[in-house]
Structure 1
Amino acid sequence: MGKELIILFLLVSGGIAALIWLYLRQPQFGRLPAGSYLKKLVMSPHYANGQFQNLLPTPMLVEDTSLVTSLVKFVLAQRKRPVPNEPVPSVKIDLLTLDGRQDVVIWLGHSSYFLQLGGRRILIDPVFSSYASPVPLVNRAFAGANPYAPDDMPGIDCLLISHDHWDHLDYPTVMALQSKIRQIVCPLGVGGYFLQWGFAPECIHEGDWFDRVEVAAGLTVELLPARHFSGRLLTRNRTLWAGFALLTAQRQVYYSGDGGYGPHLKDIGDRFGGFDLAIMENGQYDQRWRYIHMFPEEVAQAAVDVRARDVLPGHTAKFALANHPWDEPFRRITAASEYKPYRLLTPVIGQPVLLDDKEQPFSHWWETIQ
């Protein structure tokens, strides 16, 4: 009987292992860079010891915290209001009806944005799926936070992907948008996913930090440093991560991507002489990973560092990826922005922000829901 149980256990274990192996072979996971493609990546001055590096030492976790300890504490921690008790307010407009002469930004929830700059349409880190995770039913989007779908998007002149994490690079979304995307700009290694997924090589523009891409007449994108990490599974930093500067004849827009606070932010401000708008991450922070995500008070200082005139905070109000209350990022960035030399923009998801309208009002909408 004991021998039969052992054989049964081995068969079941083998079957589970085979199912996991098959699941991880699905295209959304992608394959790690290899061969001649990897040889191109290792030429980057930011690649060393088999992986991409930040500009300064950046541990994922604080020095006295192990990965296992951090995960256990995260899972067992008492979570206070991580998800709103009612739908997040949002609006939905017909993007095709936007006046092409207007510069507009629309926050699509979390770190997804639709922009119209200089007559060009830009989509940043779109995630229209109901979950931001390699595992179904994990990291579910808040009710009301997903009003747009790929079918609602017009033709996209430029898709920007800041890094390969699941809440920024969503396979179902980009595949549904494939026929609408003209150009893709992404950090080194991230273009490999799009090649694997059947996108035309000529439309993919990978870059290192400080590389510039002339996306179209009147629109230039420069990739910029961020203090973060990458990886869709357990292997880390085989692809680069980045922020972006979007440059037209009339406007300069900064997108921070994900990342911790650091001196690179002031350097970026000095490099460009300031930005008309800074789209900043502001959420999913924790003291245990303070080097790779900013606290709201650091976001406020970062906005000053990059010399932003307007600041649009995001990376929140759609997924609960940290243990803080869902609305805490808004409350803290609002308080931290008092007496700062910029205007804080707090639209609801889907609300057009008219960049030429300096009097456009915004509410503290998060105060109306629990």
Structure 2
Amino acid sequence: MKKIMLRTLAVFIAIAVALVVAVVAYMQQPVFGKLPEGERLSRVQASPNYKNGAFQNLVETPFLTNGATEWSIRIDNALAEKGAPRPVHDIPTHKTELRSLDPHEDLAVWLGHSSWYVQVAGKRILIDPVLSDHAAPLPGLVTAFNGTSIYSVEDLPQIDLLLISHDHYDHLDYPTITAIKPLVNQVIVGLGVGAHFQSWGYEPAKIHELDWYGTYEVNSELKIHATPARHYSGRTFTRNQSLWVGFALESGQRRLFFSGDSGYGDHFAEIGRRYGPFDWATLDSGQYDVRWANLHMNPEQAAQAAEDIRAKYMTPGHVGKFALASHDWNEPFKRITVASKGRSYALWTPLIGQTIPFNGSAQLFARWWDTVN
């Protein structure tokens, strides 16, 4: 009996060791990117926002809230009623031919979730593009809603500026980023994120890394400002070695704002004071949960943030393509519609692929989420 037990234990140990070796080996895959090192790491460590070996939010930001732990979240998610985090039927879309657009027309096209194609001041800009059908290091995990993956790399024109808010998989998509490399002229990211790009073959001279409130002056007609956000970073178990940001785009004619992922905080009012008022903004409005209340805004908070930054028009972001939280997929749209009533801004809710022109013309957007089960 003792020999059988020892043999069984040896088998379990061998299996455990094999699993650990397999995981370590897989973690060397390029999809996970690289951490900052050398001169880049020195720049990271010199940031006033990098303390005690990691980037810090401007205010205290506990990772989990409401008494949650990572284990309790796993258990709750396994046992809780699922609701409708994904639609059963296809999401309606309207595919704009991006390569046919006049680059001198200021506009934005929603590509789903937090991905945008933007034209301003004669520049073609891509923000947080995820053209894959999943937002995870492995296919089959965090898959896109049916009907939402309507764009591919072949649909894209030459890209003057690629902006990445942070390095999570639903914002920095390895297959997309490597595929569009020949199309991209310049890359603008938060401090440390350039390590991923350089490891994936981007020329260092094309990569521009900014701290919060840092500015990249494209030319005399366009400036890109990196703004604070309340979130975190990391593609592996190591967190907060690169900076998470939002972006304010400032031209002679327009001021646009992209929040990236962010919980609510006083930084929105400061962004409004520095760079507002904004002609239009898209704000993190989905994948919220009371268990990580500091890391994403709920729709009511997004509505307040839109007023804080002094936006004229607002579009919800971080919605409509991937389920990263347990709320119903269409709940953010319903709640932001109610929360926006009587506000100082107007709510714009385009379909994926629908053009938002910034020419002052009247815009009407349907409540398309009410037509999908």
TM range (shorter): over 0.9
Match of 1:116 among 85, 100, 119: 119
Cα pair 2:49 2:55 within 8 Å, conserved = yes
Asked if the contact 2:233/2:240 (under 8 Å) is kept, the reply is yes
* Structure 1 counterpart of 2:180: 177
Report the more deviating stretch, 5-14 or 321-330. Answer: 5-14
Write the letter of the residue equivalent to 1:221.
Answer: I
Superposition deviation, residue 91 in structure 1: 1.7
1:101 aligns with 2:88: no
* Cα drift, residue 215 of structure 1: 2.4
Quote the Cα distance in structure 1 between the aligned partners of 2:68 and 2:8.
39
Partner of 2:336: 333
Given the alignment of the two structures, is residue 144 of structure 1 paired with residue 147 of structure 2, yes or no?
Answer: yes
* 1:71 CA drift (Å): 3.0
Partner of 1:307: 310
Counterpart position of 2:171: 168
1:125 counterpart = 2:128: yes
Q: TM-score of the superposition, structure 2-length normalised?
A: 0.96
The answer for unaligned runs of 5 or more in structure 1 is none
Per the alignment, residue 200 of structure 2 pairs with 197
**1:263 aligned residue (257, 263, 266):** 266
Alignment partner of 1:271: what SS?
Answer: helix
Deviation above 6 Å: which 4+ runs of structure 1? none
Q: How does 1:1-370 map to 2 (within 5 A)?
A: 2=4, 3-62=6-65, 64-370=67-373
Secondary structure of the residue aligned to 2:108 is strand
For residues 187-219 of structure 1, give each alpha carbon's deviation from its aligned partner in whole angstroms, at most 9, with x where no partner exists. Answer: 001011001111000000001001100124522
Separation (CA, whole Å) in 1 of partners of 2:43 and 2:126: 27
Q: Deviations over 1:257-299 (max 9, x none)?
A: 1011111101111112310011111100001111111010000
Q: Distance in 2 between matches of 1:181 and 1:168?
A: 16
Structure-2 change in CA distance of 1:63 and 1:85 (3 Å): closer
| Contact persistence 1:183–1:215 (CA under 8 A) | no
Identity %: 46
Kindly state the Cα deviation for residue 360 of structure 1 after the two structures are TM-superposed: 1.9
Instruction: Give the direction of change, closer, same or farther, for the CA distance of 1:255–1:339 in structure 2 (3 Å limit).
Output: same
CA contact (8 A) 2:67 2:291 kept: no
**Aligned partner of residue 320 in structure 1, secondary structure:** coil
Contact 2:258 2:281 in 1 (8 A): yes
Q: Partner letter of residue 264 of structure 1?
A: H
CA distance in 2, matches of 1:142, 1:279: 20
Change in Cα spacing, 1:273 to 1:142, as seen in structure 2 (3 Å) is: closer
CA distance in 1, matches of 2:284, 2:233: 16
Provide the C-alpha distance between the structure 2 equivalents of 1:7 and 1:286, rounded to a whole number of angstroms. Answer: 42
Instruction: State the shift of 1:63 in Å.
Output: 5.6
More deviation in 268-277 or 193-202?
268-277
TM-score (norm 1): 0.97
Write out per-residue CA displacement over residues 53-101 of structure 1, whole angstroms, 9 at most, x where no aligned residue. Answer: 0110011111622222233223332121111110001121221211222
Structure 2: which amino acid aligns with 1:31?
K
Amino acid at match of 2:242: T
Residue deviations 1:171-198, cap 9 Å, x none?
0000000000000000001011001111
Query: Following TM superposition, by how much is the alpha carbon of 1:38 offset from its aligned partner in structure 2, in angstroms?
Result: 1.6
Helix, strand or coil for the counterpart of 1:183?
A: strand
Structure 1: how far apart are the matches of 2:17 and 2:73?
30
RMSD across aligned positions (CA): 1.3
Residue-by-residue CA offset, 1:309-333 (whole Å, 9 max, x unaligned):
0111111110110000000000000
Structure 2 regions of 5+ residues with no counterpart? none
Aligned residues: 370
Aligned-partner Cα distance in 2 for 1:5–1:58:
45
